[in-house]
């Protein structure tokens, strides 16, 4: 049985982490299979957007594989952390929108995986947390960095230092997720979001994601300069001309991604 399942429909690739008996924990096998699926999505021009979810009803991803983590030496621990960080950074910089459809527990590495996605939609039954301190370790896949950027230093400190779990509604209130829906509506809501983004200018969407991701690590002046350069690049595209013409002609644009 494959630990990662993929399904392509209407230019949307759905990636399902498939270890429900282990609450979809991120074993080395899962990380490798996930990396392969992301690489395939990057190369495949037929894929415009991704949805990432977990198998079963209990968990999106309940964390890393504790059995594997417990055997790591300090050097192996550092390397393991860097491997996960590199994978999540690869996902974040894919250039195609990735929507996390969070169907249950998103704890530890699962919360970190969700935060590396472009947009997060949660089932009302979902639960979030960075419980690593309960195991005597720190978040290792980017949790201390992305969480603070999403919800602010104070809330990130609280979640990382207490190891507490929060509900989907609380995650929405603090800005950790974009939307909360009923469990039965989750995948449909994720597909609706993906289709809405796919109807926009592909080059503009890609450059918008680049501006946000890169700009967060820059002083404001440099971020504004990056934005201006990307704005200028979009002005050279056929998509810009089509978008402007369609607006003036009061019709829907037909973008070609160039």
Q: Which residue among 7, 46, 112, 170 is the active-site one? A: 112
List, in order, residues 6 or more apart from 151 with CB less than 8 Å away. Answer: 159, 174, 175, 176
Domain-located, residue 256 = no
Domain-located, residue 253 = no
Phi and psi, residue 114, nearest 5°: -60, -40
- Domain identity same for 10 and 137: yes
- Domain identity same for 115 and 32: yes
Concerning whether 132 is annotated as a catalytic residue, the answer is yes
Q: Is the pLDDT of residue 103 over 90?
A: yes
Q: Is the pLDDT of residue 257 over 90?
A: no
- Domain identity same for 10 and 133: yes
CATH code for position 224: 1.10.12.10
Domain-located, residue 257 = no
165-167 and 127-129: which strand pairing? Answer: antiparallel
CATH code for position 108: 3.90.226.10
Domain-located, residue 184 = yes
Burial class (CB in 10 A: 0-12, 13-18, 19+), 1: exposed
Reported as a single tens digit per residue, the pLDDT across 54-87 is 999 899 999 888 888 889 899 998 998 999 999 9
- Domain identity same for 216 and 194: no
- Domain identity same for 183 and 146: yes
Confidence at residue 124, expressed as pLDDT on a 0 to 100 scale: 97
Confidence of residue 1 (pLDDT cuts 50, 70, 90): confident
Q: Which residue among 10, 68, 132, 242 is the active-site one? A: 132
- Domain identity same for 93 and 209: no
Confidence at residue 63, expressed as pLDDT on a 0 to 100 scale: 87
Picking from 154, 142, 147, the residue whose alpha carbon sits closest to that of residue 128 is: 147
What is the CB neighbour count within 10 angstroms for residue 223?
16
CA distance 255 to 139: 41
Domain-located, residue 159 = yes
Reported as a single tens digit per residue, the pLDDT across 124-174 is 999 999 999 999 999 999 999 999 999 999 999 999 999 999 999 999 999
Domain-located, residue 127 = yes
Least confident of 8-12, 16-20, 68-72: 68-72
- Domain identity same for 104 and 48: yes
Reported as a single tens digit per residue, the pLDDT across 42-57 is 999 999 999 999 999 8
Domain-located, residue 13 = yes
Confidence at residue 67, expressed as pLDDT on a 0 to 100 scale: 83
Residue with token string 């809405």: 196
- Domain identity same for 33 and 80: yes
Concerning whether 112 is annotated as a catalytic residue, the answer is yes
- Which percentage of the chain shows pLDDT scores above 90? 92
Q: Considering Cα of 137, then 102, then 94, then 21, what sign does the dihedral take? A: positive
Domain count, the chain: 2
- Domain identity same for 128 and 243: no
CA distance 39 to 18: 18
Report the predicted TM-score, pTM, of the whole model to 2 decimal places: 0.94
- Domain identity same for 102 and 228: no
Domain-located, residue 25 = yes
By residue range, what is the domain housing residue 28? 4-198
- Quote the mean pLDDT of the chain: 95
- Domain identity same for 107 and 224: no
Helix, strand, coil percentages in the chain from 3-state DSSP, rounded to 5: 50, 15, 30
Tokens of 136: 């005597």
- Domain identity same for 118 and 236: no
């Amino acid at each position: 049985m494959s630990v990662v399942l993929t399904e392509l429909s209407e230019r949307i690739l759905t990636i399902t982490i498939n270890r429900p008996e282990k609450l979809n924990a991120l074993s080395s096998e899962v990380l490798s299979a996930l990396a392969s699926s992301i690489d395939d999505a990057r190369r495949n021009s037929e894929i415009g957007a991704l949805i990432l979810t977990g198998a079963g009803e209990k968990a999106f991803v309940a964390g890393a594989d504790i059995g594997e983590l417990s055997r790591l030496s300090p050097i192996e621990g550092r390397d393991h952390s860097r491997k996960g960080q590199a994978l999540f950074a690869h996902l974040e910089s894919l250039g195609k929108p990735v929507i996390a459809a969070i169907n249950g527990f998103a704890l530890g590495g699962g919360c970190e995986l969700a935060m590396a996605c472009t947009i997060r939609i949660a089932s009302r039954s979902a639960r979030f947390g960075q419980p690593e301190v309960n195991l005597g370790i720190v978040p290792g896949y980017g949790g201390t960095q992305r969480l603070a950027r999403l919800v602010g230093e104070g809330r990130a400190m609280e979640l990382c230092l207490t190891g507490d779990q929060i509900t989907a509604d609380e995650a929405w209130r603090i800005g950790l997720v974009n939307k909360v829906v009923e469990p039965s509506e989750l995948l449909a809501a994720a597909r609706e979001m993906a289709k809405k983004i796919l109807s926009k200018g592909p080059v503009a969407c890609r450059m918008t994601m680049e501006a946000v991701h890169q700009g967060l690590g820059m002083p404001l002046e440099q971020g504004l300069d990056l934005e201006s350069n990307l704005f200028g690049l979009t002005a050279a595209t056929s998509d810009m001309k089509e978008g402007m013409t369609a607006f003036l002609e009061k019709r829907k644009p037909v973008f070609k991604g160039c």
